[in-house]
Structure 1
Amino acid sequence: MSQPSRFDRGHTDDLMSFLAAGPSPYHAVATAAERLEKAGFRHLAETDAWDGTSGGKYVLRGGAIVAWYVPEGADPHTPFRIVGAHTDSPNLRVKPLPDTGAHGWRQVAVEIYGGPLLNSWLDRDLGLAGRLTLRDGSSRLVNVDRPLLRVPQLAIHLDRTVASEGLKLDKQRHLQPVWGLGHDVRDGDLIAFLEEENGLERGSVTGWDLMTHPVERPAYLGRDEEFVAGPRMDNLLSVHAGTAALAAVAGGPGAADLPYIPVLAAFDHEENGSQSDTGADGPLLGGVLERSVFARGGSYEDRARAFAGTVCLSSDTGHAVHPNYAERHDPTHHPRVNGGPILKVNVNNRYATDGSGRAVFAAACEKADVPFQSFVSNNSMPCGTTIGPITAARHGIRTVDIGVAILSMHSARELCGDRDPYLLANALAAFLEG
C-alpha cells in the first residue's frame, strides 16, 4: 500500500538553494551538516572516542560526510541502509602557483578537474570558492560569489573554422580565466586578495583548495516551468535528496522501530576515480560503519552480520533521452525527465545493479508510490560508472545504482525535470525505512 508523498515542489525549491550554497564539496557537506544539525544530529570527531547511544550522528572529513541514525535499542548486528552519493563536480581548479597573465591581462592559472564540457565554461561569469588552510593548521571556507573571473572565447572573426569544424580547445592555453589588468603580475596576488576578502591577516594562508563556479542562480524554465537549470546537479541533487530523506526518516513517527540503521554517505573525488581518503574507494565509509558497530558493544562477528544484510543505493545523475541525439541512446531505453528516478544497469559491472538489487529498489518505489525507469547504454558506446561498483567491491555490500535523468551532464549548467528531485527523495526515504 503506497504512502502519501512527504516531499513536493517545495523540495525542488529547496534543492535550488542547496545548489547555490554548495559551490565546492566543502560547502556542500557543511550545508548538509547544518541541515542535519537542525534535525537533531550531532557531529562526531574522528579523533574522539565514540559512544553507543542512539540518535543521529555524522562525521565530516574534507569534502565528504557520513551521517547515520541509530534507533533506540538497535542491536550491534543491525544492518545498514545506505544512500551513497558524491559531492564533487567537474570544474576549473586553481593551481599551486595561481598568478599568471600575458599582454596586460592578469589571469588565474587553473587545472581541469574531472571531465567538464569545456565549452560550457566559456564567456560565463565565474566566482571562486573552496577552502583556505591557515598557518595555525585551521581551515576557512571561502566563497567569492560574484563575477570575478571569465574565460573569454575567441571571436569568430579570428577563427572562421569554428563554424565548419567546431570549437577546438587546448586545455592548457585556452582555459585560463582573466580577472584583472596590469603588466606587473605579482606572485601571491590571488591569495592576498582572498585574505583581504575574508578578513584574514596578510600571509596567514599557507594552503588552498580553490575552484571556480558559475554565479548564475538556479532557475525554473520552460513553458510551464517544468524544468530546472542549475550547476552541480551531478551530483548535489542526490546529496540534497539523501540529506532530506535521512532527516525525514530520523524525525518520523516510526524512527524508534526502524529495522535498519539509515545512512547517508556523500563522498568527494568521484569525478576523478574516488581514490582518496574522502573518496568512495577510501576507508571512510567502512571505518565509520565498523566504529558504529563496535561503539554499540559489537564484535567482528556483529560487524560481519551487519554488512551481510546491508544494502546501498548509489544515487547519481544519469542520461535522459536527448531530443536532438536520440540515436546515441539505447533504442528501447529512453528515460524521460519527470518520469521518476532511473535504475542503472550494465552487465559489465560499470553499474552495480543486479536482479536482487532491482527488487529492493522496486519495493521502495512501490512503497513511496513513485514511478521508476530503466537505463542502459547503447551497446556501441562506452558506459560511465559511479561509486556503486566501488562500494560493492570494497565493502562486500549489495549495491544498486540509481539516479535522476538529466540533460547537459558535466556542463557548467545542467537540466532536470522539476518533479524528479522530490520523486527521488521519496524513494530514498522509503528505502531507508526498510
Structure 2
Amino acid sequence: MSTRRPFDRGHTDDLMSFLAASPSPYHAVANAAERLQKAGFRQVAETDAWDGGSGGKYVLRGGAIIAWYVPEGAAPHTPFRIVGAHTDSPNLRVKPLPDTGAHGWRQVAVEIYGGPLMNSWLDRDLGLAGRLTLRDGTTHLVNVDRPLLRVPQLAIHLDRSVSTEGLKLDKQRHLQPVWGLGDDVRDGDLIAFLEQECGLAAGSVAGWDLMTHSVEAPAYLGRDRELVAGPRMDNLLSVHAGTAALAAVATGEQAAGLPYIPVLAAFDHEENGSQSDTGADGPLLGSVLERSVFARGGSYEDRARAFAGTVCLSSDTGHAVHPNYAERHDPTHHPRAGGGPILKVNVNNRYATDGSGRAVFAAACEKAGVPFQSFVSHNSMPCGTTIGPITAARHGIRTVDIGVAILSMHSARELCAADDPFLLANALTAFLED
C-alpha cells in the first residue's frame, strides 16, 4: 500500500481543465481573466483614462495579461509583488499561405515556433486553435478541438537507418501535417473551413494567428495517480497557479491590509526571446505599473520608490532529475518530482536569483508550509533562461526564478507530480500576502 501523502485534487483537477481549455496564449489569458472576474476583478482598456481606486483590475493585450489588486488606502509609492509567467509553448504554427499538399494529400503549411521536441508531434492527433482577425479589426477565438491534422512518420521499412542512427527530422520537409485527400490545393481552403466552423461570413477573415495542439486530454498517471501528463505545462502551470494565488489574495481576509500591490504578469513569446509588445522584453509591464502609480496621484519619485521595493517571482517550469539520464544533471542538485517548487540559480545570470532573492522565496515557502528545492545546471550543459533576467534588467526590479520540476519539457505532452502545482500555488499566495 502506498504511503504517499494526499494532495489537493481540486487544484490539480482545475489545472487540467485550464490546460485543456487553453490551446493557445489567447485562450489562456481569456480563461485567466474569467477566473479573475469571478474574484471581483474588472478589465480596463489601455486607451481609457485609469482611476486610482482600490480593487482588482486587469489589462489584456493579445496573448498577455497583467492583473493587479490595489488594497484600500494604498499609497502611490506602495511597492508591487509580482508573479511572472508566460503563456506560449513550442508548437507548429500556420503560415500566411496555409494551403499546400502533394501526391494526393492535402496539407497545412506550418512553421516551427520556439524549440519543440519535434518527434513528439509525430503520429499525434492534432487540433487547431488561435485567433482570427476580421476585416473590421475585431478578433475571434477559434478552437477546433478534435482530430483534424496529423504529422505522419515515415515507416521504418523506408528508412532502416533510424534503428542505428536515430530519427533525423528536417524542419521544413518532415513536419507538414496532412488533413485530407485530393490533388486540388485551393487557395484559402483552410481559412474558409475555419470561417464555417466559427459561423463567420465567407471571406470575413483578414488575418490569423493559428497553432496546432494535441487533442489528447490531460490525465492522471501511475498506480496511485500521483503524476499528471498534459500539454503546455511549460508554462500554463505557472499561469494557472499565479491566477489562483492572485484571486485568493484579493478575496482573502487580509486583502484590505496588504502592504504590497499583488500582480500577475503573464507574457507571450517567451519561447522565442520575449521581444514583442506582449513579451517580457516589451513595455507592457512597466507601462501598467507606472500608470497604476500615477492613477493614485503619484509622481516619478513615487514610481521610483515603488519599483525599488518591488519583488518579482519569475515562475517557469524546470527540469526534474531524469531517471534515465541522471548524468546530465548537476551531481549535487537533483530536484525530484513531488518535492515542491524549485529555486533556479545560475551565476551567469541565465536566472535572476541571488542570495537576497533566495531569502524572499524561502520565507514565502516557510509561511506556506511548502518544501522547496534548488536547481542548477550541469557545468558542461548550456543553461536555459526565463523572463526573470529580462524583467530584472528592463525594470530594475529584484527578481527570483522559481518553478515546478517536470519531465519532457517542450514535448507536445509533459509530465509532473500531481501535487507540485498545488504546492507552487500555496507558495505564490504566501509571497503575494507578504
TM-score using structure 1 length = 0.98
Equivalence for 1:143: 143
Equivalence for 1:66: 66
User: In structure 1, what is the Cα distance between the partners aligned to 2:339 and 2:223?
Assistant: 18
Equivalence for 2:4: none
> What is the 5 A alignment of 1:242-253?
242-253=242-253
User: In structure 1, what is the Cα distance between the partners aligned to 2:203 and 2:155?
Assistant: 39
Matched, 1:133 2:171: no
Equivalence for 1:394: 394
> What is the 5 A alignment of 1:73-92?
73-92=73-92
Report SS of the residue matched to 2:346.
coil
User: In structure 2, what is the Cα distance between the partners aligned to 1:65 and 1:163?
Assistant: 46
Equivalence for 2:16: 16
Report SS of the residue matched to 1:389.
helix
User: In structure 1, what is the Cα distance between the partners aligned to 2:305 and 2:256?
Assistant: 21
Equivalence for 1:241: 241
Matched, 1:38 2:23: no
Equivalence for 2:152: 152
Equivalence for 2:113: 113
The CA deviation at 1:223 is 1.1
- Specify the code of the residue in structure 1 equivalent to 2:245: A
Report SS of the residue matched to 2:107.
strand
> What is the 5 A alignment of 1:304-343?
304-343=304-343
Equivalence for 1:3: none
Equivalence for 2:344: 344
User: In structure 2, what is the Cα distance between the partners aligned to 1:165 and 1:230?
Assistant: 29
- Specify the code of the residue in structure 2 equivalent to 1:218: P
Equivalence for 1:205: 205
TM-score using structure 2 length = 0.98
Deviations 1:80-125 (A, max 9, x none): 0000000000000000000000000000000000000000000000
Instruction: Tell me how many residue pairs correspond in the alignment.
Output: 428
User: In structure 1, what is the Cα distance between the partners aligned to 2:153 and 2:18?
Assistant: 30
User: In structure 2, what is the Cα distance between the partners aligned to 1:244 and 1:79?
Assistant: 21
The CA deviation at 1:183 is 0.5
Report SS of the residue matched to 1:82.
strand
Matched, 1:218 2:218: yes
Equivalence for 1:355: 355
- Specify the code of the residue in structure 2 equivalent to 1:391: T
Point out where structure 2 has 5 or more consecutive residues left out of the alignment.
Answer: 1-6
Deviations 1:154-178 (A, max 9, x none): 0001001101110000000000000
Deviations 1:246-305 (A, max 9, x none): 000000001000000000000000000000000000000000000000000000000000
Report SS of the residue matched to 2:262.
strand
The CA deviation at 1:8 is 2.2
The CA deviation at 1:9 is 2.1
Question: Over aligned residues, Cα RMSD in angstroms?
Answer: 0.5
- Specify the code of the residue in structure 1 equivalent to 2:111: E
Equivalence for 1:427: 427
- Specify the code of the residue in structure 1 equivalent to 2:59: V
- Specify the code of the residue in structure 1 equivalent to 2:390: I
Equivalence for 2:418: 418
Equivalence for 1:230: 230
Equivalence for 2:268: 268
Equivalence for 1:369: 369
Deviations 1:125-145 (A, max 9, x none): 000000000000000000000
Report SS of the residue matched to 1:297.
coil
Equivalence for 2:165: 165
Point out where structure 1 has 5 or more consecutive residues left out of the alignment.
Answer: 1-6
User: In structure 2, what is the Cα distance between the partners aligned to 1:249 and 1:301?
Assistant: 28
User: In structure 1, what is the Cα distance between the partners aligned to 2:371 and 2:198?
Assistant: 46
User: In structure 1, what is the Cα distance between the partners aligned to 2:198 and 2:258?
Assistant: 44
User: In structure 1, what is the Cα distance between the partners aligned to 2:101 and 2:257?
Assistant: 61
